[in-house]
């Protein structure tokens, strides 16, 4: 296995009704993820413009209907962890509270309510809310691993901001999950890194960061141990790769790392807001235990609707397993 940045330009020919049915060529690009090998298609969409989305009316409506994560309901409407695991029932960190998910999909499936505010617009997220949220998620996952190491072997933190990204509750929250087996792409990330390490004796994430830094047009910035890159093969609009230098497990993350994550996210949120990107998904990919040849990484991808009503997820991603983006990663650096 080698670290390659494979990209090809392809063409498609049609007779264009906008130009008297003259023959017209459209170009698009395909790229392969340097770590997982997965295919991405980059193409411009005719007439596509993101409409500005105001979540405030939905925030008002959902607060009026009653939100289980708002302070007045949290204590009576949300579940408690088993006493043997968390004697206090819920875990608190600053303004954040960790509770069990009422519809769990992993043995350790928690929801982290990040703050007391019911709605935080993207451009107004404080570093405090992000730090409290991630700090609480990490504290919970560490506790789950100490309590049940086998069934909490693969931890991750996910963020689905707003309904277009699958967030079913407006109130800012994260998902903290741990199970005995990794998610599909989590497994791919860890396994491919390990194969590369076995074959070359090198860390693929270190090589990725170095190559991108040298090249320059997708490398964004570094704060502390955290490197930010525009992903070579994006999984969606405004897709970024985060790499924590020298860290492989969640336990390796310090409060300083979380602070740098929060600061970087604030900057990215302002960028997304400037693009009218209304929603995003984020996931962390830690190694289950200290692993040479692996650096903890994360992926952050904007979510939207195509024109007014159309989901950005279609048969390409869901069934064929490809990704697409309308935005070239090389244009992100200038915009951000």
User: Which residues of the chain form contacts with Zn ion (CB under 5 A)?
Assistant: 67, 69-70, 118, 171
Rounded Cα distance between 292 and 104, Å, is 32
Q: Least CB distance from residue 70 to Zn ion, whole Å?
A: 3
Q: How far is the CB of 71 from Zn ion (least distance, A)?
A: 8
CB of 150 to Zn ion, least distance (A): 35
Residue nearest to Zn ion (CB): 67
User: Quick one: 30 or 70, whose CB is closer to Zn ion?
Assistant: 70
Q: Among 42, 33, 37, 36, which Cα is nearest to 9's?
A: 42
| Measured torsion, CA atoms of residues 313, 315, 317, 321, in degrees rounded to the nearest 10 | 170
- How far apart CA 48 and CA 302 sit, in angstroms, is 15
Least Å distance, CB 197 to Zn ion, is 44
DSSP codes of every residue in 15-83: EEGGGTTEEEEEEEEEEE-TTT--EEEE-PPTT--PPP---HHHHHHHHHH--TTSHHHHHHHS----T
Q: Which is nearer to Zn ion, 172 or 293 (CB)?
A: 172
Nearer to Zn ion, 17 or 57 (CB): 57
User: Taking the CB of residue 221, how many other CB atoms lie within 10 A of it?
Assistant: 12
Cα separation, 221 vs 228, in Å, equals: 5
Instruction: For residues 143 and 212, give the distance between their C-alpha atoms in angstroms, rounded to a whole number.
Output: 36
Q: How far apart are the first and last CA of the chain?
A: 32
Nearer to Zn ion, 79 or 246 (CB): 79
Q: How far is the CB of 43 from Zn ion (least distance, A)?
A: 39
> Which residue number, 68 or 107, has a Cβ lying nearer to Zn ion?
68
CB of 170 to Zn ion, least distance (A): 7
Which residue blocks in 96-183 are alpha helix, DSSP H?
Answer: 127-147
Contact 105, 179 (CB under 8 A): no
Query: In terms of CB distance, is 25 or 65 closer to Zn ion?
Result: 65
* Nearest residue to 62 via CA among 163, 170, 172, 173: 170
- Whose Cβ is closer to Zn ion: residue 69's or residue 271's? 69
CB of 69 to Zn ion, least distance (A): 4
The residue among 39, 36, 34 whose CA lies nearest residue 10 is 39
State the minimum distance, in angstroms, from the CB of residue 78 to Zn ion.
11
Tokens of 193: 């890194």
- Please, which residue, 67 or 287, has the CB nearer to Zn ion? 67
């Amino acid at each position: 296995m080698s670290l390659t940045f494979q990209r090809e330009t392809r063409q498609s020919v049609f007779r264009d009704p906008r130009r008297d049915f003259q023959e017209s060529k459209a170009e698009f690009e395909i790229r392969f993820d340097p770590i997982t090998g997965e295919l991405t298609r980059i193409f411009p969409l005719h007439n596509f413009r993101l409409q500005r989305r105001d979540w405030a009316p939905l925030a008002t409506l959902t607060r009026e209907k009653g939100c289980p994560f708002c302070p007045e309901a949290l204590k009576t409407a949300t579940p408690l962890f088993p006493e043997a695991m968390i004697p206090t029932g819920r875990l608190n960190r600053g303004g954040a509270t960790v509770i069990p998910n009422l519809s769990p999909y992993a043995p350790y499936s928690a929801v982290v309510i990040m703050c007391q505010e019911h709605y935080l617009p993207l451009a107004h997220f404080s570093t405090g809310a992000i730090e409290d949220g991630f700090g609480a998620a990490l504290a919970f996952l560490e506790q789950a691993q100490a309590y049940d190491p086998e069934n909490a072997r693969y931890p991750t933190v996910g963020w689905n901001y707003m309904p277009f990204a699958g967030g079913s509750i407006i109130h800012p929250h994260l998902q903290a999950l741990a199970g005995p087996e990794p998610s599909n792409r989590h497994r791919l990330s860890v396994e491919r890194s390990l194969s590369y390490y076995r074959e070359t004796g090198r860390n693929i994430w270190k090589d990725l960061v170095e190559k991108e830094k040298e090249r320059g047009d997708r490398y964004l910035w570094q704060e502390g141990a955290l490197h930010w890159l525009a992903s070579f093969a994006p999984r969606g609009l405004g897709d970024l790769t985060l790499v924590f230098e020298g860290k492989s497990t969640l336990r390796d993350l310090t409060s300083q790392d979380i602070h740098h994550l929060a600061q970087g996210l604030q900057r990215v949120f302002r960028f997304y807001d400037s693009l009218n990107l209304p929603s995003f998904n984020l996931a962390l990919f830690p190694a289950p235990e200290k692993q040479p040849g692996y650096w903890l990484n994360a992926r952050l991808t904007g979510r939207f609707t195509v024109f007014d009503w159309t989901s950005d997820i279609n048969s390409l991603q869901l069934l064929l397993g490809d990704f697409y983006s309308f935005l070239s990663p090389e244009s992100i650096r200038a915009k951000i």
